[in-house]
Amino acid sequence: MRKRIMVLDTDEERGQQIVNMINAEDHLGYLMLDTNRALSQIYNDTPDLIIMAIESERWKPFLRMLKNDTVFAHIHVLGLCDPSQIGPETSFESLPLDDFTFLPVDLSELQLRLHLAIDKAGRYLDANPLSRLPGNFSIVQAVQRHIEDNKPFAFAHLDIDSFKPFNDRYGFTRGDEVIRMSARVLVNTVRIFPEAQSFVGHIGGDDFVLIVNPTHLDAVCQQIITNFDMLASMFYDDEDRARGYIESVDRQGTPRRFPLISISIAAVLSTNHNFTHYGQYSTAANEVKKKVKQMEGSNYLVDRRCTKEEDEDKGVVH
């Protein structure tokens, strides 16, 4: 499968040589000359792999920030390092590379490293190929990590309403565009709330997962809904957008009118349960999702019921 590979290098000539080598391998390489533009590109269209020239201390904070981000930590980073930067005393906690090769660049060796990185990613990385968000294995790991840390968190399922009739009406290509847009909305929204320490994952299809600090749950959900609704109507033809619905058939083949796509968010609080694994959170969130999807338009619903014996039932509230 063709990979998107970012080359981050202040040496434009060298960087372009690497891009040319990548493109000759039938992958899509592109060059970024500074970290600000690179970060914006990562948030808007996440690459599968990054080749990064690390020739000064100013690159290290960018690398650490990327690897400490729960959404992007999975991206394989191959460093181009000066020999003076790597030695027996090197701490890869402060230089969190997945692999490295020395400068000056030997394109033949870099090509082999690239093949190895792509093969490793294919074997160990479960990122969704459409959204490039962490997939099911990473989601399970993230939930388990939060459980073991014993810190409060909110677990949420996100689902696009009326997505099947949209796909039936406009086809899978435009449907894929909606999925990619939704992923960007989620990533860019949690970026606004760095203190929320959020994780975003893609279960598959139009289903996503969000893990967030409970104190920021309401604000994050409200912002996701605002951003999603702002963009959703853009995917419709003028006629459908103007009348506010599309005509299609339901799962039983009965002709129906379907509203424009919206987003439903169903959340569960760790503080109200003694759950010990992902499956329990997923089951509880799915129960809440059944309720929120009955509401009109985009909504979020938080299950505040308490299953801990010492607490009373607090009910379900928006």
Query: How many residues does this entry show for the chain?
Result: 318
Tell me the whole-structure pTM to 2 decimals: 0.73
What pLDDT shows up at residue 306?
Answer: 83
pLDDT tens string 249-269 = 888 888 899 999 999 999 999
CATH topology of domain 4-125: Rossmann fold (3.40.50)
Confidence of residue 122 (pLDDT cuts 50, 70, 90): low
Give the mean model confidence (pLDDT) for residues 20-36. 95
What pLDDT shows up at residue 14?
Answer: 96
Confidence of residue 70 (pLDDT cuts 50, 70, 90): confident
What pLDDT shows up at residue 313?
Answer: 46
Instruction: Spell out where 59-206 has E strands.
Output: 76-81, 99-102, 154-161, 199-204
Give the mean model confidence (pLDDT) for residues 59-80. 87
Q: Are 175 and 166 spatial neighbours (Cβ–Cβ below 8 Å)?
A: yes
CATH topology of domain 136-303: Alpha-Beta Plaits (3.30.70)
pLDDT tens string 235-244 = 999 999 999 9
Domain ranges of the chain: 4-125, 136-303
